[in-house]
Amino acid sequence: MGGFSFADHMFALNCGLLAIFSAISTGVTILIVIAVLFVSAYLVLLAALGWFALQDWFSNKKMSKAPGTPCAKRKA
């Protein structure tokens, strides 16, 4: 008898579904990896900006107490 049996059809269907699901999961994995990279880059940028802002704030605090600054001249 020629033609495909029921088992052949199920095998082809399973192979097709497996290919579709593996492609979808690969795409989702790539999207998750890209999202994690973007979030980590954003957090690194935020940490760097916060670090520089803190450095600037501390240097301004030190300068306001230093003699010869306008604040020190006004108080004297």
pLDDT attached to residue 68:
60
Question: Which residues, 6 or more positions from 63, have their beta carbon under 8 angstroms from its beta carbon?
Answer: 69
pTM: 0.54
pLDDT attached to residue 1:
52
Distance of CA 10 to the CA centre of its chain: 41
If you average pLDDT over residues 1-26, what whole number do you get? 84
If you average pLDDT over residues 56-66, what whole number do you get? 71
6 pLDDT more than 90: no
User: Are 49 and 43 within 8 A, CB to CB?
Assistant: no
- In angstroms, what CA-CA distances link 63 with 3, 4, 58, 73? 89, 86, 9, 13
